[in-house]
Structure 1
């Protein structure tokens, strides 16, 4: 694992320290890593949503579609 040093104003440092205590993180690094992971996930979700919005329309997601989806899930379970 590599190290990264960042400079923060006192108010942000205090906020991070408070979050570490309140949320049960072991260190400020754990808290910051979690924030970065969440941002990565948010960006991935955004990309998926934009790709879906740009894709061609398909059949509507009506009751029959969801019934079929439930059936496929049940069949995969065994």
Structure 2
């Protein structure tokens, strides 16, 4: 693991220290790691949402019924291994 040094104004340092206490973090590093992790998760969620919207807008919709699922199941069971 590497270390990163950052400079904070006095007011920002005070704010971070208060968040560490309020959040029950063991250290400022733990607090910052949690913030970074939350940001990564938020960005991943945004990416998933963009992909879902892209999929929804990618073509004509179809009605997915029990019959459709049965046909899909039969197709996948009978599909040659090279195509899988």
TM-score clears 0.5: yes
Distance in 2 of aligned mates of 1:21 and 1:34: 14
Whether 1:36 and 2:36 are equivalent positions in the alignment is yes
Deviation by residue 1:28-61 (Cα, 9 ceiling, x = unmatched):
0000000000000000000000111111364579
Specify which structure has the bigger relative contact order, considering alpha-carbon pairs within 8 angstroms and separated by 6 or more residues.
Answer: 1
Q: Distance in 2 between matches of 1:8 and 1:60?
A: 56
Quick check: 1:48 aligned with 2:48? yes
Question: Which TM-score applies when normalising by structure 2?
Answer: 0.66
Structure possessing the higher radius of gyration over alpha carbons = 2
Relative to structure 1, is the Cα distance of residues 18 and 54 closer, same or farther in structure 2, using a 3 angstrom cutoff?
A: same
Where in structure 1 do 4 or more consecutive aligned residues deviate above 4 Å? Answer: 57-61
Gaps of 5+ in 2: 67-84
TM-score by length of 1: 0.70
